[in-house]
């Protein structure tokens, strides 16, 4: 564990990915953190200033693991974190229910931060969409559109799914309606059905729009990340947050309350 005068040592899972490279670039100018190591099964980049391993076997010590990898790679990071009692931030998206259960189980042994998106602006979008969903009646149709760069591996985005889940919960609480979601479906919507649309192309960092479509009016709540630095800022905040917490699974709500 670190002290007030010791840098927080981060282990990056998915080290050669775009997000982990952005984190490493930021940490160079941040005296609070240092990158202890990276784990990635891809070849090591030539400009890397820290060791990268193909697995968690024989990695050096760290204070917290930051995971921006793939759902299958998250599992190895979780197993390592539990075995070595190291907190972990899981910001990878696309986990199935069994993988989410693995994350929940890890939270019984270590502090785990699990969020599909660590941008504070995106979290505000989710909250505003929930408020609007609870306020507006069922004459408003709801659609979610998410846009990302061409090489994003999962669709719809984890953030879009989280927004939809939050809206469904708000609708159930406010009016008892059972809302469901449908992805990439062009046919006419059933009653209380939210459509989610995924757009992939170019170098778009990330954009999410929630549309409430009523008779003769439309309400749009949107957030667009123009640079990955917004995610880096949230990830580093969450990593430091974990070092102060007992075992459990935490999210953006907990970070903002803290």
Q: Is 148 designated active site? A: yes
Distance CA 151, CA 246 (A): 36
CA-wise closest residue to 236 among 72, 120, 98: 120
User: Is 123 within 8 Å of 145 (Cβ atoms)?
Assistant: no
CA-wise closest residue to 89 among 156, 151, 8: 8
Task: Label residue 64 exposed, middle or buried (CB < 10 Å: 0-12, 13-18, 19+).
Answer: buried
Of the residues 152, 171, 208, 223, which is catalytic? 152
Number of Cβ within a 10 Å radius of residue 164: 24
Of the residues 28, 95, 100, 148, which is catalytic? 148
Strand partners, 181: 194
| Tokens 């170019």 found at | 202
Distance CA 72, CA 58 (A): 20
Annotated active-site positions, please? 148, 152
């Amino acid at each position: 564990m670190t002290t007030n005068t010791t840098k927080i040592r981060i282990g990056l899972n998915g080290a050669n990915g775009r997000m982990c490279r952005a984190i490493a670039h930021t940490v160079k100018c941040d005296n609070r953190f240092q990158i202890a190591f990276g784990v990635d099964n891809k070849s090591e980049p030539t400009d890397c200033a820290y060791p990268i391993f193909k697995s968690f076997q024989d990695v050096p010590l760290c204070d917290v693991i930051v995971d921006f990898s793939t759902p299958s790679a998250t599992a190895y990071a979780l197993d390592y974190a539990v075995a070595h009692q190291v907190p972990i931030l899981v910001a990878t998206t696309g986990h199935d229910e069994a993988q989410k259960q693995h994350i929940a189980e890890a939270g019984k042994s270590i502090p785990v931060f699990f969020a599909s998106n660590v941008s504070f602006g995106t979290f505000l979008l989710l909250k505003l969409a929930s408020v609007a969903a609870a306020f507006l009646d069922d004459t408003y149709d709801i659609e979610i559109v998410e846009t990302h760069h061409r090489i994003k591996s999962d669709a719809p985005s984890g953030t879009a799914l989280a927004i939809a889940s939050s809206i469904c919960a708000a609708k159930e609480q406010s009016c008892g309606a059972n809302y469901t979601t449908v992805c990439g479906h062009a046919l006419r919507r059933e009653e209380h059905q939210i459509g989610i649309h995924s757009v992939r192309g170019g170098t778009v960092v990330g954009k999410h729009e929630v549309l409430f479509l009523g008779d003769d009016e439309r309400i749009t709540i949107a957030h667009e990340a123009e640079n990955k630095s917004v995610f880096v800022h949230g990830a580093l905040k969450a990593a430091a947050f974990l070092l102060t917490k007992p075992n459990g699974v935490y999210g953006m709500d907990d970070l903002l309350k803290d």
